[in-house]
Amino acid sequence: MSTANPSSINQRRTFAIISHPDAGKTTLTEKLLLFGGAIHLAGEVRARGQNRRAKSDWMKIEQQRGISVTSSVMTFERNGITFNLLDTPGHEDFSEDTYRTLTAVDSAVMVIDAAKGIEAQTRKLFEVCRLRDVPIITFINKVDREGRDPFALIDEIADMLALDVAPLNWPVGQGGQFRGLWDLRKSRFTAPDGSDSRSAGATTQMSGLDDPRLADYVPADELAHLQEQAELALGGYSEFDPELYRAGQLTPVLFGSALKDFGVEALIDALAEYAPAPRPQPALPEAVSPDAPLVSGFIFKVQANMNPQHRDRIAFMRIASGKFRRGMKLRQVATGKVIAINSPIFFFAQDREIADEAFPGDIIGIPNHGVLRVGDSLVEGPNDITFTGIPNFAPEILRRVKLGDPTKSKQLRTALTDMAEEGVTQLFRPMIGSQWIVGVVGQLQLEVLISRLGAEYNVAAGFEPSPFDTARWISAEDPAALKTFIDTNRGAIAEDRDGAPVFLARDQWELNYTEQREKAVKFTATRERA
């Protein structure tokens, strides 16, 4: 039996950055990695000593649209703390993937553009965090540019998100008049470095806002204004209470500029000081504490073809408990299959020696040939544990796949199955007819699918409309009732990739009508892997 070292657990921070596209997530991620002496990016790990992953069209889509469509894991260390940063795709079509990634973090950083405030996607992602009480640190970015009034921005967060807010620092001036950042609680001032780029320079400890040295950085009239603002900022909002933050009820707010390095170090320090260490993970029969001695974890993401030479997949597992060691055997609870994890990919250590083990809060990549699925629970020992809350979502767009070259049908099936395993798309096999139906949550997923079929499988394909518009998983307490429903609706029944029955409806009206008529059958818009 292995015993995790609790101090190692407390020294981990597993978090994600949520934001609307363009707010500065990529820039902030890079700066966090730089400050932390980045170790390596997940996508590059496999490529070590091998050919780098060929650039696929799918990556071109990312570049053209300036959006990131894949998630990866990045790890950095600072002052003895290991930070696991899980990247989330920013585009709304990928909210499903993002949702699942957010099931694997203990906290989040919400990046807001100081000129724009809360935008649509920020809000959506925030709601996902709220569902799981994920604590959030807010980073109001781009203070080096002309932005909105700091009070207005903070009030908007409080009002729109119904959260208590506690500013930790304050921007002195804006745009061309930006003088630096004042740390409201620690009375420190960070000024530009004096170079043309006006990046962050030294931070000076002051005795208070009346410290005469502040005059070196801030003209007298602006200083009086800062004193007023600081008083209002401290007095007008909640006091910062780390417990309320960790309960998801209050967000500390940091102003900064990812581009110019302002506030980035303060953000890392805040994560280290206040963000929760790995939390218990919701599961059946009961939540799993990170201190539990046996290893357990769940798969929140699967990525195929990270190396085009090998048709393998990497399943990303969040370790929930125990101390994982290379070569361990873990049982896949859904199937009972025991899997020896001989070549896990560690994202967190420079040093191969240390990389032989991982602790709760860490993510490991498990190469496999399609056995592991999103939502899978893996355990050491005899007890079944099923992690909960990692759903598939009912697709909002259904399409039949049309093959350019009919001799490629076998490759098409492999490719569609791979993509379904990654959770990029869902795949339904109708009971009647031979054409597979692909389901996605957003339009962009279809474009990614077509590009990847071409780039990675050499299959030219397109879509044709499917007669169906929406899908629901079906179940019933009485197996006979389910069978009767399936038998009488064979033309509208399909199986998903796991063999679970799905009802395909022509439109919302038909779905509502059927739901009302068939009281014995349960129609669900999400399905968790049992």
Nearest residue (CB) to ligand GDP, 111 versus 206 = 111
What lies within 8 Å, CB to CB, of 519 at 6+ separation is none
Q: Given candidates 4, 9, 16, 23, which one binds ligand GDP under the rule CB under 6 A?
A: 23
Span interacting with ligand GDP, options 258-266, 426-434, 472-480, 497-505, rule CB under 6 A: 258-266
Residue 42 CB, nearest distance to ligand GDP (Å)? Answer: 17
| Residue 27 touching ligand GDP (CB under 6 A) | yes
Are 391 and 526 in contact, with CB atoms under 8 Å apart? yes
Closest CA to 56 of 306, 302, 301: 306
Cα–Cα distance measured from residue 446 to residue 453, given in angstroms and rounded to the nearest whole number = 11
For CA atoms 297, 301, 304, 307, give the dihedral sign: negative
Per the annotation, does 369 bind a ligand?
no
- List, as one string, the DSSP characters of 154-205: HHHHHHHHT-EEEE-EEEES-GGG--EEEETTTTEEEEE-SSTT--EEEEEE
- Contact criterion met (CB below 8 Å) for 496 and 473: yes
527 lines the binding site for ligand GDP (CB under 6 A): no
Task: Show the site string, 415-454: x = touches ligand GDP by CB under 6 A, - = not.
Answer: ----------------------------------------
Name the minimum Å distance from CB 197 to ligand GDP: 11
The answer to whether the beta carbons of residues 29 and 17 sit under 8 Å apart is yes
Check whether 90 is labelled as a binding-site residue.
yes
Nearer of residues 23 and 397 to ligand GDP, judged by Cβ: 23
Nearest to ligand GDP of 112, 412 (CB atom): 112
Shortest gap between Cβ of 141 and ligand GDP (angstroms)? 5
The token duo for 83 is: 């930070």
C-alpha separations of 133 from 155, 361, 370 in Å:
21, 17, 32
CB of 57 to ligand GDP, least distance (A): 20
Which residue stretch of 257-265, 280-288, 319-327, 372-380 sits at the interface with ligand GDP (rule: CB under 6 A)? 257-265
CB of 145 to ligand GDP, least distance (A): 4
Q: How many residues bind ligand GDP (CB under 6 A)?
A: 17
Out of 26, 305, 392, 470, the only residue in the binding site for ligand GDP (CB under 6 A) is 26
Alpha helices in 219-333 (DSSP H): 220-235, 242-246, 264-274
310 is in an annotated binding site: no
Q: Are 419 and 304 in contact (CB under 8 A)?
A: yes
Q: Does 24 bind ligand GDP (CB under 6 A)?
A: yes
- Residue 51 assigned as binding residue: no
DSSP class of residue 352 equals T
Work out whether 22 is an interface residue with ligand GDP (CB under 6 A): yes
Which CA distances in Å does 55 have to 58, 63, 416?
8, 11, 20
Upstream peptide bond of 285 is cis (omega within 30 degrees of 0): yes
**Residue 259 in the binding site for ligand GDP (CB under 6 A):** yes
**Residue 142 among known ligand-binding residues:** yes
SS3 234: helix
145 binding ligand GDP? (CB under 6 A)? yes
d(CA 85, CA 303): 17
Asked if residues 362 and 73 have their Cβ atoms less than 8 Å apart, the reply is no
3-class DSSP assignment, residue 501: strand
Please identify which residue in 12, 13, 14, 25 interacts with ligand GDP, judged by CB under 6 A.
Answer: 25
Q: Is residue 251 near ligand GDP by the rule CB under 6 A?
A: no
User: Known binder of ligand: residue 23?
Assistant: yes
d(CA 427, CA 449): 12
Q: Which of residues 2-21 bind ligand GDP (CB under 6 A)?
A: 19, 21
Out of 40, 91, 100, 142, the residue judged to bind ligand GDP by CB under 6 A: 142
CA dist 135 and 133 (Å) reads 6
Minimum gap (Å) between residue 301 Cβ and ligand GDP: 19
Q: Tell me the C-alpha distance between 463 and 506, whole Å.
A: 17
Torsion angle in degrees (nearest 10) through CA of 412, 417, 420, 422: -110
The reply to whether 430 sits in an annotated binding site is: no
Taking the complex as a whole, the smallest distance from the CB of residue 105 to ligand GDP amounts, in Å, to: 17
Does 173 bind ligand GDP (CB under 6 A)? Our answer is: no
Between 181 and 292, CB nearer to ligand GDP:
181
Contact map string, positions 353 to 382, toward ligand GDP, x by CB under 6 A: ------------------------------
Q: Binding to ligand GDP (CB under 6 A): which residues in 318-337?
A: none
Ligand-binding annotation for 26, yes or no, is yes
Q: 89 labelled as ligand-binding?
A: yes
Would the annotation count 143 as a binding residue?
A: yes
CA angle 146, 148, 151 (to 5 degrees): 135
Flag whether 368 is marked binding.
Answer: no
Contact pick of 141, 281, 426, 470 for ligand GDP (by CB under 6 A): 141
Residues in contact with ligand GDP by CB under 6 A are 19, 21-27, 90, 141-142, 144-145, 257-260
Task: Provide the annotated binding site.
Answer: 19-26, 87-91, 141-144
Task: Provide the annotated binding site for GTP.
Answer: 19-26, 87-91, 141-144
